[in-house]
Structure 1
Amino acid sequence: MQLWQQLMGSPDTHTLEAIIFHTACIFTGLLFICSIIFNYLIGLYTLSILLVPAVFSVGFVYYLSKFKYRLNLAVTIFCVLGNLLFIAFFLKNSGINGPGLVVYLLFFFLVISIVPKNQRFGWMAVNIIVAISLILFQYRYPELVPVNYEDNLSRHLDFSYVYFFTLIIIYFILTSIITSYNRERLLAEKRAEQLEIANQSKNKLFSILAHDLRSPLNSIQSFLEISMEVEIEEEEKRSINSSLLKETKYTGQMLINLLSWSKTQMEGASVKMLVLNLEWALETTLLLQTSLAEEKGLILNNKLQQNMYVIADNDMLELIVRNLLNNAIKFTPPGGQLTISSEVHGKECWIKIQDTGIGIDKVDFDHIFSLNSQSTYGTNQEKGVGLGLVLCKEFIELQEGRIWVESTLNVGTTFFISLQISSQNDLFALHLN
């Protein structure tokens, strides 16, 4: 199957018309080669010699299209030479008493399969004019188109041979057209699905920009306007400042996720896989998250194993852990606990982020990592937009890792991410650097 695709051309590098043309060239070349041998065996020596340059001509137009990407030129040469060859074939192989018209009909089928739509009527007119002219020529000058068969058996064998090859070529050409059509149809359906997803993503972004990013700005603007007109007591001002600071922090995280996700959608993510000491790589992130947890009255336990080396992208790993910890803080009521730990499972390192929060309903598991998930408020009315877990899934898969979740309502949630553990060779290369 792979060899066949190499001969026909890949859909990534050649058009549907080019693939059909290559199929036609290969089977036409095989037909000519077999015909040289067959015609020689039944005594049609002149016809065998005539087909030798035809084989080279077919090989040339195949090369021109397959390797030089000159499909239009190759098709034009194929059509012109095919008509000239048929005229010689008709005159040298008994005219209407031979299989010439059947071969010409097959040639027209090949032509109509590969020429541009605006040329089909023109080549059909050429086919009709050539066929009728040759028939009239033989009718007017029958002595110039003699029957070349040695006996009736040779004639029957020649017709049987042409019928067999005509059937084979039509079958493979039609199969190639149907297969290519189905492949194009599936690609079109896939593109339509991707477009629908892109439209959903666009709507999601507009929704975020229209509401979630505008809301904190309106709060800040209102506070500033009131503070300029009305004297606010110090205690009330501190309360408002605390509320605005909290809202600004979550808005900042929201913006980071939004910008990171938008970049991956528009430019594609650039992954830099390195050997990382897990504890060192997450040190800064855990310090910041510990501070956020303490503000809400939560305890963050760090149980990451020492000297655990994984292969990952440092920035992506930090963003993933930061989002998962933010989620844990968001959905865990004051007085709860969060734990980040690591375990070795074969060649994988599992990083577990566990909380004692409100949990996730099992019906939400299927879309929790997609844009179809609905944003929800945390235990202190913290706002999110549902992009964090989408980013986590995309970024962990870019690092050839996995992410999954286990949860029980009103008990807690545990998110797992798996990364490849670094081998001794990787560690040796790290120390050399």
Structure 2
Amino acid sequence: MAFNIPFNYFSGLRTTAFIFAFLTLMIGYLYYMTRFKKLVSSSIAISSFLVIMLFAVNYFFSGGIGGATFLSLMLAFILIIIVSPRKFYVLWVVFSLLVALGLLWAEYYYPDIIYVSYPDRKALFVDIAFTYGTSIVVSFLSIFYLKEAYNAEKKSADQKAVELTRLNEEKLKLFSIISHDLQAPLSSLHSYIRLIANDRFNADERKQVERGLANALHGTQEMLSNMLVWSQNQLRGTHVALLPNNIQEVLTPVIDIQKIYAYQKGIELETSIDASLNALVDRDMLQLIVRNLINNAIKFTPPGGRIRVSASRSGTFCEITVADNGIGIPEEQQAALFSLKTRSTYGTNNERGIGLGLFLCKEYAKEQNGALSFESELGKGTQFYLRLPLIV
């Protein structure tokens, strides 16, 4: 539009140059309204109407059907269709056709209303050639933009479809594992309860049965707790409440409970937590992470082993470490440790797990602007590192 002002002025089309000047100012203002005032739909509609109507006015001052206005109207229509919402397509098609037919009708029956402002044939040919060239370039750029946008959207949609398929397959696999793995602990619970009900044990036997019942209950409770948290996240989304919390106060209740299970298995659970550490965390999320990490350490550490939970300052981060001297993680399982590509795992006392806990730990660490990593050596143990930003 701006380039057409001097071009038409020096070609002798003074009225056309003034029309383009007015259009340039109006569309500049409407662009401002669209970009900064968010009046997108109304600005597009107003600018489209203005362009068509002013080109229609220009028709009478630039030679009518013998000039270049029809080419400009066609170009304007292409651009209007590109930027307009789909629901207005029919409106703009009908309106553009009516304007064009109306111009032809007016010139056919009233040829005297057409003013030929070209100073000579050369100016006419230059105007038509320039308008045609502009139409070709702008049409190419418009179609190129549309194709690029379409391809980008198609690629994005294909990627999302692949990702959704993958996630759906993993969820189906996860539910299959869960339904299978719940049968064993529930059967064990049923058997233990029946044995206790018969009351045919001496004190040692009864104590052994009760310990087995407690272990089965603990494993099933952990599995169901992780399943419940994960399913709630899937249905409602993850809700994070980041508040200032003292790390020692948050972790102490979790560690005290886990010490009971560690003691029952004959594992020493040591702690070393800096009481001065304060971080912006979600209390429930942090407790879930640490509970799962300690529970895994207990599960994969043999009786007589040792687990150490520590929290210390590392620059602007609080680093929580859960380290054990258990059996370690096989190298082929490490790459998928924090994913839903899970399978049943068994601890040193045949404690059953499905790996969902670590997936939740990784997700919850990210939600708190933290990071979770690990180091493991088969036969020597595993160390998990949770880094969370401190309150400065």
TM over 0.5, shorter chain:
yes
Q: What secondary structure does 1:422 align onto?
A: coil
**Offset, 1:212:** 2.9
2:151 is matched with 182
**Structure 2 Cα separation of the partners of residues 38 and 277 of structure 1:** 72
2:200 is matched with 232
Between the two proteins, the alignment pairs up a number of residues equal to 390
Q: 2:365 aligns with which of 396, 413, 420?
A: 396
Q: What secondary structure does 1:203 align onto?
A: helix
Counterpart residue type for residue 92 of structure 1: F
1:169-318 map, 5 Å:
169-200=138-169, 202-204=171-173, 206-207=175-176, 209-224=178-193, 232-234=200-202, 236-318=205-287
Alpha carbons of structure 1 residues 402 and 52: separation in structure 2 relative to 1, 3 Å: same
Alpha carbons of structure 1 residues 407 and 92: separation in structure 2 relative to 1, 3 Å: same
**Structure 2 Cα separation of the partners of residues 318 and 122 of structure 1:** 60
Give structure 2 stretches of 5+ with no counterpart: none
Q: 1:405 aligns with which of 374, 377, 380?
A: 374
8 Å contact 1:367–1:373 — kept in the other structure?
Answer: yes
The alignment's TM-score, normalised by the length of structure 1, stands at 0.76
Q: What secondary structure does 1:413 align onto?
A: strand
Counterpart residue type for residue 405 of structure 1: F
Counterpart residue type for residue 285 of structure 2: M
Aligned Cα RMSD in Å?
3.4
**Structure 2 Cα separation of the partners of residues 124 and 319 of structure 1:** 60
Q: What secondary structure does 2:352 align onto?
A: coil
**Structure 2 Cα separation of the partners of residues 416 and 107 of structure 1:** 61
8 Å contact 1:405–1:416 — kept in the other structure?
Answer: yes
**Structure 2 Cα separation of the partners of residues 387 and 90 of structure 1:** 71
Q: Deviations over 1:120-168 (max 9, x none)?
A: 6886677667657756875776555353211344334423442453244
The alignment's TM-score, normalised by the length of structure 2, stands at 0.83
Q: Deviations over 1:210-251 (max 9, x none)?
A: 2333443333345555666x5633455543332222111111
1:13 is matched with none
Q: Deviations over 1:311-336 (max 9, x none)?
A: 43322222211111111110011111
1:352 is matched with 321
**Structure 2 Cα separation of the partners of residues 237 and 343 of structure 1:** 43
Counterpart residue type for residue 278 of structure 2: Y
Give structure 1 stretches of 5+ with no counterpart: 1-30, 424-433
8 Å contact 1:216–1:244 — kept in the other structure?
Answer: no
Alpha carbons of structure 1 residues 180 and 288: separation in structure 2 relative to 1, 3 Å: same
8 Å contact 1:330–1:380 — kept in the other structure?
Answer: yes
**Structure 1 Cα separation of the partners of residues 244 and 86 of structure 2:** 57
1:105 is matched with 74
Q: What secondary structure does 2:260 align onto?
A: helix
**Offset, 1:208:** 5.0
Counterpart residue type for residue 11 of structure 2: I
Of 187-196 and 403-412, deviating more is: 187-196
1:5-84 map, 5 Å:
31=1, 33-51=2-20, 54-55=23-24, 58=27, 71=41, 82-84=51-53
**Structure 1 Cα separation of the partners of residues 331 and 370 of structure 2:** 23
Alpha carbons of structure 1 residues 347 and 120: separation in structure 2 relative to 1, 3 Å: closer
Of 194-203 and 134-143, deviating more is: 134-143
8 Å contact 2:308–2:322 — kept in the other structure?
Answer: yes
Q: Deviations over 1:374-425 (max 9, x none)?
A: 23000000011211111111111111111111111111111111122332xx
Of 193-202 and 133-142, deviating more is: 133-142
1:417 equivalent in alignment to 2:386? yes
**Structure 1 Cα separation of the partners of residues 245 and 194 of structure 2:** 49
8 Å contact 2:178–2:354 — kept in the other structure?
Answer: no
Q: Deviations over 1:313-360 (max 9, x none)?
A: 322222211111111110011111111223443322322211111111
8 Å contact 2:33–2:40 — kept in the other structure?
Answer: yes
Q: What secondary structure does 1:92 align onto?
A: coil
Q: What secondary structure does 2:322 align onto?
A: strand
1:384 equivalent in alignment to 2:353? yes
2:310 is matched with 341
1:369 equivalent in alignment to 2:327? no
Q: What secondary structure does 1:178 align onto?
A: helix
**Structure 2 Cα separation of the partners of residues 249 and 131 of structure 1:** 80
**Structure 1 Cα separation of the partners of residues 108 and 240 of structure 2:** 75
Q: Deviations over 1:24-65 (max 9, x none)?
A: xxxxxxx1x443443333332333344466557656876887
**Structure 1 Cα separation of the partners of residues 282 and 315 of structure 2:** 21
2:123 is matched with 154
1:92 equivalent in alignment to 2:61? yes
**Offset, 1:281:** 2.6
**Structure 1 Cα separation of the partners of residues 46 and 9 of structure 2:** 27
Alpha carbons of structure 1 residues 224 and 321: separation in structure 2 relative to 1, 3 Å: closer
**Structure 1 Cα separation of the partners of residues 259 and 290 of structure 2:** 13
1:140-151 map, 5 Å:
144-151=113-120
Q: What secondary structure does 1:286 align onto?
A: helix
Give % identity.
34
